Amino acid sequence: MKRFRVIATYIQSAEAEVLAADEAEAYRIARELDGSNFEALPSDDWKIEAVEELPDNLKPAELAFIEAYGTACAEESADTVRAFFMLYDDADAFCEKYGTGAYSSIMDAFQVWQLAISYQRGIEKIN
């Protein structure tokens, strides 16, 4: 799953009545009115202005795990494993979207990964 920033504008229409000789004068008068002279209309709308993909901001070790998981386990897609890291602090949200089976599979593999790294670092300190 990828992250995106979506920029939208909110459009709220309002109206006011003015007395004027013609459209140009009505426009000039309306430009000088205070916002409190206008009444909001029920026609509001959203307009999506832009969508841009955001970087994962995953650590190199997390990216390496995604690659290793895909090679060794491959029970879940790389996008699901990426979502695991993005929702790491919210296991309930991950499980709701991807299921507890996916969470258990990835978490078990991740714990083995972390233990292997700790073990390797311990050996490096001894040597």
pLDDT at 1 over 70: no
- pTM higher than 0.75, yes or no? no
Task: Name which of 126, 123, 80 is nearest 102 in CA terms.
Answer: 80
pLDDT at 30 over 90: yes
pLDDT at 127 over 60: no
The per-residue pLDDT of the chain, averaged, comes to 86
Tokens representing 12? Answer: 């709220």
- 22-61 per-residue burial string, b: 16 or more CB within 10 A, e: under 16: eeeeeeeeeeeeeeeeeeeeeeeeeeeeeeeeeeeeeeee
Q: How far does CA 101 lie from the centroid of its chain?
A: 24
Please indicate whether residue 74 or residue 6 has the higher confidence score (pLDDT): 6
Residues of the chain above pLDDT 70, percent: 93
